[in-house]
Amino acid sequence: MEFSSKLLENAVNQVSQLPGIGKRTALRLVLHLLRQPAEQTNQLVQSLGKMRNELKFCKSCHNISDVDLCEICSSHKRDKDIICVVEDVRDVMAIENTSSFKGLYHVLGGKISPMDGIGPHDLNINSLIEKVKTNQVKELIFALSPTIEGDTTNFYIFKQIKEYNVETSTIARGISVGDELEYADEITLGRSILNRIPFENSLKA
């Protein structure tokens, strides 16, 4: 792609680094921004910069938050000894949308995936085990997507906490294999949380 402007070329190159955005789409978006009032584009740039610099991760559950302890963790209305283990913040949003769960979350930040070089220590697993060890948890609900990586991660955590007095369950697999949790419809997802099964039963299945 030949550009008549170095500034335009730089902007297109930056935008095309976003997932799913090729050079052509990037050019279309940049030209769109150029046609907008300058103030609108500046607001977009500012809000992205502010988000990137000021956003925090909850010190307890690792969910995205504006403050040190997120709204869910600091709420008095939540069951603090039931923890739903999820892969990322999109899963928290999906489960919150169902209004079926009143416990807390623990965001791992991914799944164990040797193929991608992601091991247990790259994820927020130690802080979860620590919560179990210090008797802060009555039940852990595994809500990772039903993939090989999800199963591996569940099983790794399960082995680590087996000796402690904690119940483990997994959300019912009404969600077909390969579907990401975030795409499950709210009713199905809500029902699968309510109808969760003991984790050990899921291993026999």
Footprint on this chain of Zn ion (rule: CB under 5 A): 58, 60-61, 63, 70, 73
| Amino acid in position 190 | G
Report the nearest approach of Zn ion to the CB of residue 54 (Å): 17
Smaller CB distance to Zn ion: residue 64 or 172? 64
- Least Å from the CB of residue 78 to Zn ion: 10
Closest CB to Zn ion among residues 73, 141: 73
CB 164 within 8 A of CB 133: yes
| DSSP, residue by residue, 41-63 | HHHHHHHHHHHHHH-EE-TTT--
Angle at 26 between CA 19 and CA 94, to 5 degrees: 35
Residue-level length of the chain: 205
Please identify, using beta-carbon distances, which residue of 67 and 203 lies nearer to Zn ion. Answer: 67
CB of 192 to Zn ion, least distance (A): 22
CB nearer to Zn ion: give 71 or 116: 71
Output the smallest distance, CB 185 to Zn ion, in A. 25
Q: Are 72 and 105 in contact (CB under 8 A)?
A: yes
